[in-house]
Amino acid sequence: MARPLKQAEGMINFKVQKMANRLTKIYTRTGDQGLTNLASGERVSKDDLRIEVSGTVDEVNCAIGIVLSGESVPEELRTTLLKVQNNLFDLGAEISLPKFSVINAKHISWLEAQLDSFNANLPPLKEFILPGGNQEAANCHLARAICRRAERTAWALANEMPLNPDLLKYLNRLSDLLFVAARVLCRENGLAEILWQHEK
DSSP-derived letter for residue 40 is T
Check pLDDT > 80 for residue 88: yes
Q: Is residue 125 part of a domain?
A: yes
- Higher-confidence residue of 130 and 135: namely 135
In one-letter notation, the amino acid at residue 177 is: L
- Residues 12 and 188: their CA atoms lie apart, in Å, by 40
User: How many structural domains comprise the chain?
Assistant: 1
SS3 46: coil
Cβ proximity of 99 and 4 under 8 Å: yes
Nearest Cα to 181, choosing from 148, 143, 130, 152? 143
Q: Is residue 3 part of a domain?
A: no
Q: Is residue 8 part of a domain?
A: no
12-61 tens-digit pLDDT: 554 444 444 455 666 565 555 565 565 566 665 566 788 889 899 999 99
* pLDDT value of residue 174: 98
Residue 2's pLDDT band, with cuts at 50, 70 and 90, is very low
State mean pLDDT over 145-171: 95
Q: Is residue 27 part of a domain?
A: no
- Residues 61 and 38: their CA atoms lie apart, in Å, by 19
Q: Is residue 134 part of a domain?
A: yes
139-154 tens-digit pLDDT: 999 999 999 999 999 9
Check pLDDT > 90 for residue 173: yes
State mean pLDDT over 77-99: 91
* pLDDT value of residue 4: 46
Q: Which residue blocks in 69-134 are alpha helix, DSSP H?
A: 75-96, 105-119
* pLDDT value of residue 13: 53
Q: Is residue 38 part of a domain?
A: no
Degrees to nearest 5, angle at CA 142 with 136 and 143:
90
Q: Is residue 21 part of a domain?
A: no
Q: Is residue 173 part of a domain?
A: yes
Nearest Cα to 103, choosing from 112, 111, 94? 94
- Residues 134 and 122: their CA atoms lie apart, in Å, by 17
* pLDDT value of residue 35: 57
Task: Provide CB contacts within 8 A for 68, sequence distance 6+.
Answer: 78, 81, 82, 85
Q: What is the CATH classification number for the domain harbouring 143?
A: 1.20.1200.10
Task: Provide CB contacts within 8 A for 177, sequence distance 6+.
Answer: 80, 84, 111, 114, 115, 118
Report pTM: 0.81
Domain that holds residue 168: 46-188
From residue 157, how far is each of 76, 125, 140, 167, 171 by CA, in Å?
34, 33, 25, 12, 14
DSSP-derived letter for residue 19 is H
The overall average pLDDT reported for the chain is 81
